[in-house]
Amino acid sequence: MALGVKNPPEPKIERIAGLVTRIKSGDIKIPKFQRGFVWYESQIIDLLESIYEGYPIGSLLFWLSETPMKSERDMGGFELPETPEKYPRNYVLDGQQRLTTIYGVLNWPDRDKLHKLNVRFDLDNLSFQHFAGEHNDRHVPMNILFNTSEFIEFQKKLSEFTDGKELIDRANVLYETFREYLIPVVTIQEKSVEDVCPIFERINSTGTQLNQFDLMVAATWSNAFDLNDQVAEIRDSAKLKDFENIDNTIYLKMMSSIHGFGSKRTGVFKLRSLSPEVLITLAKTVQNSAERAIDFLSTDISVPSDAFLPYENLLVVYAYFFSKVKTPTHDQLNALRKWFWQCGFSEHFRGATEGFLEQDLASVDCLIEGDLNALKLPFNLEKSDLLRRQFWKNSAFSKTFAVMLARKNPRNLTNGEMIDTEKALSVFNEKEFHHIFPKDFLKGLGIEIPKRNNICNVCFLSSLQNKRIGNAPPSSYLNESLRDLKEEGEDVLASNLIPFGDGAPWAKDDYGSFLEVRAAMILEEIRNNW
């Protein structure tokens, strides 16, 4: 027996006329998680031309479900009818922009209004045009094609032209083409929200990736609760700390975890079972917990923004803890603090995220119960790891490294002034970091790019001072700085974790030895934070 999907959905061929009728009856709906109508005028014309020429325009994907989902009340500006509570609905999963274009063009109500859905067909040039403000009796308004009486009246006007018969023939071809054009429609039936979500996430015909949060907005919606609004409130409260770019799914994980469903996808879907009142209360708890977690990260650990979070899942764990503990002990806070460095430098969430996060939440419960080592991760870093690692802005390790450097209160290498690390980290561009051995200088020595960009060659320096140094070797600019800084010189170097004293490798421009020595210093600093 051949293996395969049980009862796979099969496409059915439907006429445009039938689809329009189904939309008008309320049978087909646009779920709230879909985007609004965003097509440009050129895209609308391209679609209409494809239909007229008989080209395929792709299939539509519907989900037939009795699950009440929040849906848009209109399609392209047209209000759609309500449907009975238990009436199955066909939600559009793929093809929204195409379907809205077809429906909107064929039902546009105001022929005098300039709008991208107000389209004419030029019977002379056999081309589609947007209404430009002047009526032309040789242009067929597309919104009369499905109105038989109006189309007959239009034919009568055409008959008054000397070439009326030819114009009427062309209009009839247009009429028949759009009424009879066939579109493949695939309908998914007997699927739960959990089953549909992976399908929904994978379809991407218009270039917009749709995700679990988008689906849950519709799945949990009621007149009393809107997940979008609740998360927007949480996000607004986080703006003061520059953590407004956290992915929406993180807040779903917070809600699910704090309520006791866990952080996995299966737990998140259980949120649908909660009443609007419970969801509202839960959202407020999440907001308070997220605010406390962000405050801890920004004030205690000195993470200036979400751009420097090694992993967003850290927020789920911290919010979970602060939802359970109103007054943490010194030892608990210390354990949470160390866990940040351990997660970042061990790249804790690089692999099986769901499983690790679930284990971490269980470890938080143990921490609350008194096991101060519950969250602790083993220290497996070696100097060789640092000597192989490059500095990349988007890597968890580099973000953690940058925050660690910032906590050292680094001073400017050229003048000893304190560096505004919060500003530098918030800007977070390459100019706010400095290659101690300048990249161009190393290029001149024949050093390959990966080694030039080694993480042990990076420290803070303002963009202005970075320009002043240019490609000067460290033996030149650092010695000059030490002469100017005098007794403060060693403190300035130490604040940047740069070796100093007799025999410092940079004094002889010995890059290989410098990396070895600084890697050891960085490793010791990491160990101290661990």
Instruction: Check whether 75 has a pLDDT greater than 70.
Output: no
Q: Which residue has the higher pLDDT, 422 or 512?
A: 512
Mean pLDDT across 19-44:
82
CA atoms of 281 and 286, how far apart (whole Å): 9
Taking each helix axis from N to C end, the angle separating 227-238 and 248-259, rounded to the nearest 10 degrees, works out to: 100
pLDDT at 418: 87
How far does CA 109 lie from the centroid of its chain? 37
Note the pLDDT tens digit of each residue in 447-470: 999 999 999 999 988 777 777 888
Instruction: Check whether 476 has a pLDDT greater than 50.
Output: yes
pLDDT at 337: 97
Determine how many CB atoms are found less than 10 A away from the CB of residue 251: 23
pLDDT at 438: 93
Contact 530, 378 (CB under 8 A): no
Instruction: Check whether 524 has a pLDDT greater than 90.
Output: yes
Q: Which residue has the tokens 């509570």?
A: 85
Note the pLDDT tens digit of each residue in 498-512: 998 878 999 999 999
**What SS3 class is residue 493?**
helix
Contact 158, 151 (CB under 8 A): no
Band (444; pLDDT cuts 50, 70, 90): very high
Instruction: Name the average pLDDT for the chain.
Output: 87
Instruction: Check whether 266 has a pLDDT greater than 70.
Output: yes
Mean pLDDT across 463-490:
87
Amino acid of residue 488: E
Instruction: Check whether 21 has a pLDDT greater than 60.
Output: yes
**What SS3 class is residue 110?**
coil
Mean pLDDT across 349-357:
82
Instruction: Check whether 430 has a pLDDT greater than 50.
Output: no
pLDDT at 466: 77
Mean pLDDT across 103-118:
91
Mean pLDDT across 181-209:
69
Instruction: Check whether 189 has a pLDDT greater than 70.
Output: yes
pLDDT at 207: 45
Strand partners, 78: 75
Mean pLDDT across 277-303:
94
Mean pLDDT across 102-120:
92
Note the pLDDT tens digit of each residue in 220-260: 766 678 888 888 888 888 777 788 889 889 999 999 999 99
pLDDT at 208: 47
pLDDT at 233: 86
pLDDT at 16: 95
Note the pLDDT tens digit of each residue in 118-177: 999 999 999 999 999 999 999 999 999 999 999 999 999 999 999 999 999 999 999 999
Instruction: Check whether 43 has a pLDDT greater than 70.
Output: yes
Q: Which residue has the higher pLDDT, 428 or 481?
A: 481
Band (420; pLDDT cuts 50, 70, 90): confident
Contact 312, 245 (CB under 8 A): no
Amino acid of residue 449: I
pLDDT at 198: 62
Amino acid of residue 274: L
Mean pLDDT across 411-439:
76
Q: 318: which 2 tokens?
A: 């911290």
Give residue limits of the domains in the chain: 1-212, 220-368, 383-529
Instruction: Check whether 201 has a pLDDT greater than 60.
Output: no
Band (429; pLDDT cuts 50, 70, 90): very low
Note the pLDDT tens digit of each residue in 368-410: 999 999 999 999 999 999 999 999 888 999 999 999 998 999 9
Which phi and psi (to 5°) does residue 314 adopt?
Answer: -55, -40
Give the CB-side neighbour count of residue 208, counting CA atoms within 13 A.
15
